[in-house]
Amino acid sequence: MGSDRLRCQCAKLAEHKRDVGFFWDLIKHLPLPAVILALGGTAQLIRIMRANLLDELRRPYVVTARAKGLSEKRVILKYPVRAALNPFASTVAYLFPYLVSGSVIISIVLSLPTVGPLLVRSLISQDMFLAGTIVLLLGVLTVIGTLISDLVLMWVDPRIRHQLD
């Protein structure tokens, strides 16, 4: 039953793909969910960065840099921010599945045709093949996000780069 509904939705989407009005309507309605998803992810990242930066600002090397007479801007940007970016970069990996799934609640409230409501409908109709495929997709995106965050972490932190040599 769930796969029949999916085929019907795919056929409707295929009809609309050729319609410029459908595309323009999609573009017009995209900013609100994009802002909502971005603010949610950004708030989480800001909280993590702030906590790590506050921990780093109490370290002795920051006090020493200030005692040497470096400007406050240089002290913060040169040392603590670079150290606080490590957990920040590793956290970015978990935002990729969140963005693709479309945050199920936001998608349902705004009636968006994303993967989140499709997952809910497939679970309600007990279409385990579709639900399993979506969960597999989210798992693959988590692995890809982790790989990207590890590459960013290697770029940000020279200690990791030099361990490979």
**Contact between 97 and 141 (Cβ < 8 Å):** yes
Q: Is residue 13 part of a domain?
A: yes
Contact (CB, 8 A) for 130 and 3: yes
Which residue is associated with the tokens 């999916």? Answer: 6
Any domain includes 15: yes
Q: Tokens for 41?
A: 């992810």
pLDDT in tens, 50-81: 999 999 888 998 889 888 988 888 888 888 88
Does residue 25 fall inside a structural domain? yes
C-alpha triplet 15, 20, 22: angle, nearest 5°: 60
Q: How many folded domains does the chain comprise? A: 1
Q: Is residue 62 included in any domain, yes or no?
A: no
Note down the domain range covering 34.
Answer: 8-55+85-164
Residue 111 belongs to some domain of the structure: yes
The number of beta carbons lying within 10 Å of the beta carbon of residue 160 is 13
Specify if 61 maps to a domain: no
Specify the residue for token string 């988590």: 142
pLDDT tens digit sequence for 80-90: 888 888 888 88
3 domain-assigned: no
Predicted model pTM: 0.65
Residue 27 lies in a domain: yes
Report how far residue 42's alpha carbon sits from residue 105's, in angstroms, rounded to the nearest whole number. 18
Q: Which pLDDT score, from 0 to 100, does residue 132 have? A: 93
In angstroms, how far is CA 134 from the centroid of its own chain? 17
Q: Please state, for a pLDDT cut of 70, what percent of the chain lies above it.
A: 85
Helix 128-156, helix 115-124: angle, nearest 10: 140
Q: What's the pLDDT score for residue 50?
A: 92
For residue 21, the model assigns a pLDDT of 77
